[in-house]
Amino acid sequence: MTIIKKTNGMEHEQRQLKKNIALVEDDPEIAELIILNLEKNGYFVTAFANGNSFLEFLETMLPELVILDLMLPDIDGLEICKIMRRQSSCAGVPIIIVSAKCDELDKVLGFELGADDYLTKPFSMKELIARVKALLRRNSPAGRDNGRIEISGVLVLDLIKHEVILQGRKIELTFTEFKILELLAVKKGCVFSREKILHHLSGGQGKDVIDRTIDVHIRHLREKLGADAQFIRNIRGVGYKLEEY
């Protein structure tokens, strides 16, 4: 069931200026607390108490970020992750998983299926807001060849449209995959440790995640690059870099 708020014309106009965050959480107390804190920080929230209503919403609207509980009454949150990542329209929408499941394997599985971040319950609202801001933050494309980075004439990153074109065709990356590729492409030839990549993704907020997270995202990125995966090199014991060939 969607949590609906009635708005007058002025409120609707103000809403259009705010970033729209979708919250999928079946615990009404947790949902209310998250909504309150997000709205205090200037976001507009559309909340859902089950997965089916959220998936229906995706057919007509696209949020700029999703906060997703895993244990929902109808659909497992991981299944929602898979569905979103299979659909080109929302493949790049950032997903933050919030769950009581705290085992390392649960976190790795969440990242495997396309999540960009993972918070275990209970968590502080300040930490959630910091992670939301970090994921929504976009690096300024100014001074980077009109927001475009070209690699070897076959790979193009459009930092304004947030798109990647490979061999003349658009490839769908998650938000996190794009940010990793952008970091490596902006400083071609430079080696970045997993710690530095994590710092870049978190906006310096210091997220409590494991190094294997980066390996998961890099593997997915290489799979999507296909025959051109050789752009991204693993420097054993050091980290990753992007090289032209």
pTM: 0.62
CB atoms within 10 A of CB 226: 10
Q: Identify the pLDDT of residue 98.
A: 95
Q: Identify the pLDDT of residue 8.
A: 43
The span from the CA of 180 to the CA of 140, in Å, is 15
In the block, tokens 């906060």 appear at: 67
Token pair of 72 as six digits: 């929902």
Query: Dihedral sign, CA of 128, 106, 210, 174?
Result: negative
Domains located in the chain, CATH noted: 2-136 (3.40.50.2300), 148-242 (1.10.10.10)
> What residue ranges of the chain have pLDDT lower than 70?
1-18, 138-146, 202-211, 245
Burial class (CB in 10 A: 0-12, 13-18, 19+), 10: exposed
Angle formed at CA 240 by CA 238 and CA 245, multiple of 5 degrees: 125
Is the N-terminal amide bond of 94 cis, ω within 30° of 0? no
pLDDT in tens, 46-58: 999 999 999 999 8
